[in-house]
Amino acid sequence: DIVMTQSPDSLPVSLGERATINCKSSQSVLDSSSNNNYLTWFQQKPGQPPKLLIYWASTRESGVPDRFSGSGSGTDFTLTISSLQPEDVAVYYCQQFYNAPYTFGQGTKLEIK
């Protein structure tokens, strides 16, 4: 099974500052034939289902603010929020859908410093 490890577990960031969340997979999730990384990022606010932010590691879902960006390839990935807004307080998860079981990271709780 592919193990997804996020860091940090908790991230305090000041409003307007940059937030960076890392996700590392135990095996590559890059499909060489398509050159796609089978890696997604989700945001979950309390009492709500998760919301897709980024797929293929770097493609922003429609309607997601452009302050959210994803990067990385192979086994190392990053979600960046360029300028933290109050509504960005949430738990963020990465997930690989390259090989079943389609494992999630443990989550990173983003809070206001």
Residues found near another protein in the complex (CB under 8 A)? 1, 38, 40, 42, 44, 49-52, 55, 61, 91, 93, 95, 97, 100-107
Instruction: Identify whether the C-beta of residue 108 lies closer than 8 Å to the C-beta of residue 21.
Output: yes
CA distance 26 to 108: 18
Q: By C-beta, is 84 or 93 nearer to another protein?
A: 93
Pairwise CA distance, residues 65 & 81, whole Å: 10
Report in angstroms how near the CB of residue 64 gets to another protein at its nearest: 11
Q: Closer to another protein by CB, 18 or 43: give it.
A: 43
Two structure tokens written together for 97: 């859908």
> Least distance from C-beta 73 to another protein, angstroms?
17
Q: Is 96 helix (H, G, I), strand (E, B) or coil?
A: strand
Lookup result for tokens 């990053």: 78
Smallest gap, in angstroms, from Cβ of residue 56 to another protein?
A: 8
Report how far residue 5's alpha carbon sits from residue 23's, in angstroms, rounded to the nearest whole number.
Answer: 6
Question: Between 7 and 83, whose beta carbon lies closer to another protein?
Answer: 7
Residue 92: CB minimum distance to another protein, A: 11
